[in-house]
Chain A
Amino acid sequence: MKELKVQPIKDGTVIDHIAPGNALKVLKILGITETQPDSVISIAINVTGKRGKKDIVKIENRELDTKEVDKIALIAPNATINIIRNTEVVEKRRVEVPDEIVGIVKCANPNCISNMKEPVESKFIVKSKNPLRIKCYYCEREPDDISSQII
């Protein structure tokens, strides 16, 4: 008998092709936590797909908009977004790195003004999308490891 590890969803968003081990980070970046009572969230980690292992996140009853999903491009640049309505995929697209990243990544430079108690959010300018290179808008430093600097 075939066993379904993760149930298909009726309405909502499926984020597929997340690099293995990054599903929880994706949820963190999207700001989706257990405090959202209307959404059932299923997470599959290390699922074997056609192109090797991957993570999948399914969020029920919530359609993520472009701005929200593009944030995850920082750690899951190959992810695909599927919008599901009444069990049908009505929209499928890849994530795209935005030109500016605001309030998601903390500057790695402890002496940067954005790490002081100032009324500003961290801000990074995308220098290159592939490979992904970003620099702090304020101090212009490039983080060595972007994923470790995610707020």
Chain B
Amino acid sequence: MNFEGRDVISIKDFSKEEILYILEVAQKMVPIAEGKEKSDLLSNYIMASLFFEPSTRTRLSFETAMKRLGGMVIGFSQPGTTSIQKGETLADTIRTAESYCDVIVMRHPNEGSARLAAEFASVPIINGGDGAGHHPTQCLLDLFTIKREKGSIEKNRIALVGDLKYGRTVHSLAYALALFGVDMMFVSPPELQMPKEVVEECREMGVDVTISNKLDNLDEIDVLYVTRIQKERFPDPEEYSRVAGSYRIDLKTLENAKEDLIVMHPLPRVDEISSEVDKTKHAAYFRQTFNGVPVRMALIALVLGEVK
């Protein structure tokens, strides 16, 4: 399987076999990501990290991934300090950056920006989030987390909870889980339901999808994937508090849960998972955060052709 020179724009650009291969490479990267082993695999390479929008985990884990493999990082996280402030186009910014580096990781507020960047760049582009569009590396690390925590992706019943309408991670994840034949429950307030086309696509792929506005039947769930309900989606602050509160995960919610249920969250969280859950064996979200490093190490090494 050869990934050299490939762009990573959307999870839909990858087959199930390719995804499994990336996860296999990521598993081998774990000791290096943990700092237990050293590597100079990418010592001759420079990664440009172009963050036109705020990020904590995606940017830091990409930069950590590159450095753990001996590579170097250039870039910005505040576009206000660059020529973008002077009105430079994304196309020109990309053509400039590519002349200084071997791979570009970018996050940008406009949908389709990574696809456009890939048209102008001769080096691989890795999409770290394009507006409400795609976030393929988040999707891959979510799949990697499920695989590491549960042993396999396939044999689980997974509930996606919270803002399923605007949350970009859940759309890609639902597609990817359907690719693996996983049955899903979509739990959200009616105004934040999973878009119809995502539901239809999952069903067309042959998986069983249940839609609900109540989080019950927790005893049937293996993975609870929680997302943040954003305040700005609600014109009335009281309505927000009422809705957000009804999807809050705390010890009481988890009373009927399976012993080995895992709770995941792409983070940042606000109130949707009570901090008392952090100490339980169910909490997988910080391990999920760590998993961003080996997955991104695998992707960078693969697109640079240093892992075949």
Chain A 132-151, CB-CB to B under 8 Å as 1, else 0, gives 00001111110000000000
Dominant secondary structure at the A interface = loop
Bound CA span A137–B10, Å: 12
Bound CA span A138–B114, Å: 8
Bound CA span A109–B133, Å: 11
Is B32's CB within 8 Å of the partner chain A?
no
Question: CB distance B119 to A120 under 8 Å?
Answer: yes
Flag the segment in A14-22, A30-38, A68-76, A111-119 that touches B: A111-119
Choose among A117, A119, A139 the residue that contacts B112 (Cβ–Cβ < 8 A): A139
Bound CA span A116–B93, Å: 14
Bound CA span A138–B112, Å: 4
Question: CB distance B131 to A111 under 8 Å?
Answer: yes
Is B43's CB within 8 Å of the partner chain A?
no
The verdict on A111 contacting B119 (CB below 8 Å), with A116-B90, A139-B133 known, is no
Contacts of B120-140 to chain A: CB distance below 8 A: 130-133
Bound CA span A114–B10, Å: 17
Question: CB distance A111 to B111 under 8 Å?
Answer: yes
Bound CA span A117–B113, Å: 12
Contacts of B7-63 to chain A: CB distance below 8 A: 10
Bound CA span A118–B118, Å: 13
Is B267's CB within 8 Å of the partner chain A?
no
B residues within 8 A CB of A118?
89-91, 116
Contacts of A55-70 to chain B: CB distance below 8 A: none
Question: CB distance B132 to A111 under 8 Å?
Answer: yes
B residues within 8 A CB of A137?
112, 115
Is B109's CB within 8 Å of the partner chain A?
yes
Bound CA span A27–B113, Å: 32
Question: CB distance B110 to A113 under 8 Å?
Answer: yes
Bound CA span A22–B131, Å: 36
Contacts of B217-258 to chain A: CB distance below 8 A: none
Question: CB distance A138 to B91 under 8 Å?
Answer: no
Bound CA span A111–B115, Å: 14
Residue of A nearest to B90 (CB): A118
Residues of A within 8 A of B (CB): 109, 111-114, 116-120, 136-141
Known A113-B130, A117-B89, A141-B111; further 8 A-B contacts with Cβ < 8 A? A109-B111, A111-B111, A116-B89, A116-B90, A119-B89, A138-B115, A138-B116, A139-B131
